[in-house]
Structure 1
Amino acid sequence: MKLKFNTSEPGFWVSGVTHAALLGLAMVGLSSFHKFPEAEEGIPVEIFTENQVSQITKGEKTAKDVQPTPKPRADRVADKTELRDPGEEKRDTPAPPKRPEEMKVADKEEPVASQPPLPTPPPKPAEVKAQEDEKKLIEKAEAEAIEEAKAAAAKAKAEAEAQAKAKAEADAKAKAKAEADAKAKADAEAKKLADAKAKADAEAKVRKDAEVAKKLDLADIKQLLQNKEKNQSTGASANEIQKTPSLGTQTGSAAKLNPSQRDSLIGILTEQIRKCYTVPVSASIGNPTLPYLEIRLNPDGSLSADPAVLRAGPSSTDRAIADAALRAVRRCAPYRLPAQFAPFYADWKTLNVEFDLS
């Protein structure tokens, strides 16, 4: 428990002042402490008991030496008295006791033969029957306990096997699902990569065709048109030259697209139609037949006629893909076409193209 001090309470200041005063008094008392006096050398004193004082021999002032064991002073020798041995008086001594005769050792007692045990009385018939009934009950209880233990063991074994089987099936299903999910994910990634590659290839092809088209010599195109005009003007004569344009005839000739230019133009149209195309749900099933369309265009890229299906597969999926392609062609018009293809309009005003819009 943590104590909290409150400086606003009077007890705090009273306690502080008291402790400070006690500390100051202790310091003053210790500073005025006097040293103890130095120890003085003691004088040896010998103490005599009363018995020792009574045995002190009086000395003489005229004696020269001090005897270590002084004897009392005597002026003459005392008479000596002869002391004799008093001896012993004769006494009547009793006769010593006679030695007792040897005592005979008593014969060992022979061991008493143990008596045979008393015969157990035969049990009564009622007791015999009760014992048999009790024995049968015990045997029956033991048999039932054994059967119950066996049944419990069999049940536990069956439950363990069922649990193991269920776990194995669940693990197999989980593994199969994981494999299927992984395969579907891998297929989706592969399809995504394939689509991205196809799109990149198509864009690269379009860019390449555009670069090739840009590299065409405009001077050659102009020279070709001039030669064509000269050839047409030499075919007929009149009083004056008529240069007013008119509709062409079946026998007339016009500039045609080379294979590279045609592929480039079709790639440009396909790329624009792809943005307006919605893939039918059934298109992912099976291997549908690609539609073959007829597209009629004006010089500005708009549709001069409604697009038509020239060829389609017999299945409902094929027809759904063809209808989706027609809707995409209508929705994306007018098309943005490079000006370099304008001189070849007579060759691309009607295009029969097989579109792969998957």
Structure 2
Amino acid sequence: MNIQYPARERLANLPTPLHPLRRITELFSTPFGGPQVWIKRDDLTESAMSGNKLRKLEFIIAEARTRGCNTLITCGGEQSNHCRATALAAARVGMKSHLILRGGHELATEYLPDGNLLVDYLAGARVSLYPLKEYLSRLPQLFEEWTDHYRTQGDRALCIPTGGSDGLGIWGYVQCAEELFKECREQGFFPDRLVCASGSGGTQAGLTLGCQLLGVDTQVTGYAVCDSEAYFVSKIQEDIQHWAEKYAQTFPFDAQRISVNDKYIGPGYGMATEEIYQSIALAAQLEGILLDPVYTGKAFHGLLQDIEQGRYAGCRHVVFVHTGGQFGIFPQRAGFKASWAEQSVDRL
């Protein structure tokens, strides 16, 4: 199928690399067999704007220009990769950005911002922090209030949902799917499975839709980092339905092909276990790949566990889509102590 894309603002360094993880593959070979694990390096879409959100923002910012908007309003947690990418992308194209963030300890007067939140401020974003209860109960109203605020100042704002995940942002990973299969053909293999972290659902929705639009049988599996399998199945269908309505698409999407694994969320969103921290360290030590404890670390840990348990025994090639998020490592530095403390002492 020849996919017709809407307007796009070129911001990312594409295509991102695709290469095998040979040491990881060797280490996790089992009596059941096991696939060659590959990695799609969407953490390299750009240096500071890095990650999966930039692909979505290319289409979102083009839409903002079409509507005559000069301000981007979006939302997320205090360490939102999407909000950080939005702040930097807005700065790059000469737009204002306003981030509605759910607060925690950063509301304390002496808190020093770290990780993504620090970058938000450096990028010149206006940051509004709200306690979790208010954020959850009033988010639609907060978008309305700040949109009205900018309107009174003569500005026009585009409101972007959590993670940029809707029928507009979905184009970013439809395009990624097309790019990825071209790279696979060039390297002489066909992927049996694509794997990604699912936090707001948009990346998995785009990859899943993209596979079907391209007419390939590859299964996309999202490892949930929050919420349940049922939630993500519903959210992905909702995003694809929004896409179909917004762009007058009649493509017969097969919802039965949505695959979500919610067994590796750990204690909750933004919280990792010691095993997840160890998997992140393993990827760094064996492959020089940096994952994060909120998204990619959980998904990669889940993938490795499932390979070890024989759940990918029928697959020859699995591609892990690295969606970025490295700024999220630094606020959780204490979790990695077991991975570096002993080595640090040895160097003294």
TM-score (norm 2): 0.18
Q: Relative CO higher for 1 or 2, CA cutoff 8 Å, sep ≥ 6? A: 2
Decide which structure has greater strand share.
2
Scaled by the length of structure 1, the TM-score of the pair is: 0.18
Whose radius of gyration is greater, 1 or 2? 1
